[in-house]
Structure 1
């Protein structure tokens, strides 16, 4: 996790200080449950509650003599407590009862930030899609001009893509928001299941269905896969914005600050750096999802092969995904749209993009389908090669273009059903309360 791509609210969740504070919170909750069972003296519980969270520096110092982070943390956490109270900390627990339960809590908070950002991006996509629902532009297939569409429909595609990611991310949050306090190999041999229920309930977590020693890593793989898919959705949007900003296209322009400088050598440059960055960050999310899948298979009840990987991929993926979504929202909010340039681009091929309308009109008039297709294709080929218009090529073959036959609005008149779908999505997103 690097500061450049980390927003403060997400970065704070993944600091070592917050990790140790969460670990201390888990230990207090576990001891509280033990006290309710009559296993821990209330005076000891009060000493444990009052104990300060140890500093990162102190834990690192003690780790040098233990080579075990959790034991170093426990030593640092208990060193200010009376010995008769300190002995009840971590009672009946194993390391990953602490680590994975705290991790579940931090993952849930991180997912909340990502989900809120994803919902916000989806809502803005809907709003801007409705704003430009009737703004004609050219659709491109294989990168080549196809038929007229509307810029609003382009954005609506991305709105539904992001909505599906919101649903996947919500499911992934439920998957990772679990804990386990079940003892060394998950048998509850040394600790009551009540302790686990109490701790997880107080933290707003579910309980691992069938514990071993750790929370099952398919849960984390589900989360990172959902983040990767969401990142790919942002990339799809950003790539479209990059393509539409090309000099010869020029249909949109992403926002830039007054301090913007596009090139160290060419003062005129206005590079699509924000959308390029969004595309690049999606690659990190995909790579990390693969590493998370590698972490699913652990030896027997557990091994430690996943731990070092997760120290990197969990904070990095959640931080990058959150940054990517917030940045994409900012790009879209400030995006400038140029309907006049879109109109000029529609006409850039001198009527070729209306070939399907002419073709279907000829069929409707009684021409055989293959004959009509070949006739229009020949006229289009002539227009491509000579620089003439499709209308001129058709006229040379005895086909006159009627008034209004070559108009972009002919392609936009039968989309009420699509707009109704978008309106339903808008209502659904607005009905969802932020987590």
Structure 2
């Protein structure tokens, strides 16, 4: 019976399959096979035994059921795997399984294979999110909207700016993931305390050859484990990615609020239900799910950091938490990447509400522009600020437009014509370098992709 939501509610098939028990077992068998192959090539074990181990290192022969059956007695997962593989080998080949290795050589190296595959899936979705954001930035470079600071109407901006800023951030997350991958996905075959002593003079050659066979870079130095600063960095990168997606989803949720309703998730009124009791509700449930799951992903950072300080050459305190946080962090990050794609690819714009909100303050959002223009025309900056502020306060108090209040102030209108004021009060023409900034991101993105 399924218990964890990852089993039945959250996650994608392509990421789940990486962390399924049978695939994890196969990756550990792949490491045992690489070890046997390297030792056979170097004459440490008989070539025939190495070939037999390589042939049988497959879940076709070593079943999950048999490994679990042995583990019920041994209480040791890798010892159970070794026994299950050895008993499948013909002749005396089984005697050479796992020679010179320690359990964590198998665990850490197989985890590198799992993480490498996971990063490939994550990278694909991150790239797709980036591409969608760039398209949205391009399509909306001239869609002027109100910018908000402290939750208050500030100055005009564009939706192109919003999407371009997110795209730029997603690109940085891709760079972080790639840089982290270089340090994280390494091979290790260094024995009980990292000295390769059991493998004799050829220990380092075995260590390097195993990694080469598996397509990994061999760790430069280790004790019984690949040091966990690498894994902590990876979890922190995923938490950072999750926070970017949280930021995007939070903005969309806010912009979908009833009183704002500028953009929002697509809602299918024929099928979708927003509330079990309120028939009118159309909630941003996907964006909310992104924000909620992002909190869980961030929570794994503490455990990942605490997995780095271990006793002496290693203790077991990192193992149990990593069995949870590594698969879950990958599965949940991949899942909210998918949800983000779903939201962004089906984003609904409400142009009339964008225009309504842009005009909501009766021109108060153009106060900065008015001050700047007065300064350009000869009024002192501090004097202009004070004069415009007085007008803004009166407009707010009386409910009149800023334009109408300004028209009555001769000390201001001495510097302006009515036509000047009309142009100043047009928010569509006060977006500064917004369009060029978006274009710069689009131009730069040709290198990213």
TM range (shorter): over 0.9
Q: Residue 377 of structure 2 is aligned with which of 365, 370, 373?
A: 365
Do structure 1's residue 422 and structure 2's residue 447 form an aligned pair? no
| Whole-angstrom distance in 1 between the partners of 2:222 and 2:376 | 67
- Unaligned runs of 5+ residues in structure 2 are 1-5
| Whole-angstrom distance in 2 between the partners of 1:29 and 1:48 | 9
The answer on whether the counterparts of 1:262 and 1:268 sit within 8 Å (CA) in structure 2 is: yes
- Unaligned runs of 5+ residues in structure 1 are 431-435
| Whole-angstrom distance in 2 between the partners of 1:380 and 1:207 | 66
The answer on whether the counterparts of 1:136 and 1:339 sit within 8 Å (CA) in structure 2 is: no
Do structure 1's residue 244 and structure 2's residue 249 form an aligned pair? no
Q: Give the deviation of 1:216 after TM superposition.
A: 0.6
Aligned partner of 1:74 in structure 2 is 82
Q: Give the deviation of 1:416 after TM superposition.
A: 5.0
Task: Give a deviation string over 1:54-93, Cα, whole Å, max 9, x none.
Answer: 2222222111211111111111222222351101100111
The answer on whether the counterparts of 1:123 and 1:429 sit within 8 Å (CA) in structure 2 is: no
Do structure 1's residue 379 and structure 2's residue 379 form an aligned pair? no
Q: Residue 129 of structure 1 is aligned with which of 124, 128, 137?
A: 137
| Whole-angstrom distance in 1 between the partners of 2:429 and 2:387 | 21
Aligned partner of 2:280 in structure 1 is 268
Alignment of 1:12-411 (within 5 A): 12-51=17-56, 52-53=58-59, 54-82=62-90, 84-191=92-199, 192-257=203-268, 258-398=270-410, 399-400=412-413, 401=418, 402-411=421-430
The answer on whether the counterparts of 1:212 and 1:302 sit within 8 Å (CA) in structure 2 is: yes
Q: Give the deviation of 1:356 after TM superposition.
A: 0.7
Do structure 1's residue 6 and structure 2's residue 11 form an aligned pair? yes
Q: CA RMSD of the aligned region, Å?
A: 1.5
Aligned partner of 2:3 in structure 1 is none
The answer on whether the counterparts of 2:133 and 2:164 sit within 8 Å (CA) in structure 1 is: yes
More off after superposition, 228-237 vs 53-62: 53-62
Secondary structure, aligned partner of 1:147: strand
| Whole-angstrom distance in 2 between the partners of 1:267 and 1:428 | 48
TM value normalised by structure 2: 0.93
Q: Give the deviation of 1:29 after TM superposition.
A: 1.1
Aligned partner of 1:433 in structure 2 is none
Secondary structure, aligned partner of 1:5: coil
| Whole-angstrom distance in 2 between the partners of 1:45 and 1:126 | 51
Secondary structure, aligned partner of 2:424: coil
Stretches of 4+ moved more than 4 A in 1?
A: none
Secondary structure, aligned partner of 2:205: helix
The answer on whether the counterparts of 1:351 and 1:390 sit within 8 Å (CA) in structure 2 is: yes
More off after superposition, 225-234 vs 258-267: 258-267
**Does the C-alpha gap of structure 1 residues 137 and 212 become closer, same or farther in structure 2, counting only changes over 3 Å?**
same
| Whole-angstrom distance in 2 between the partners of 1:115 and 1:79 | 39
The answer on whether the counterparts of 2:403 and 2:425 sit within 8 Å (CA) in structure 1 is: no
| Whole-angstrom distance in 1 between the partners of 2:223 and 2:443 | 44
**Does the C-alpha gap of structure 1 residues 267 and 416 become closer, same or farther in structure 2, counting only changes over 3 Å?**
closer
Tell me the matched-pair count. Answer: 430
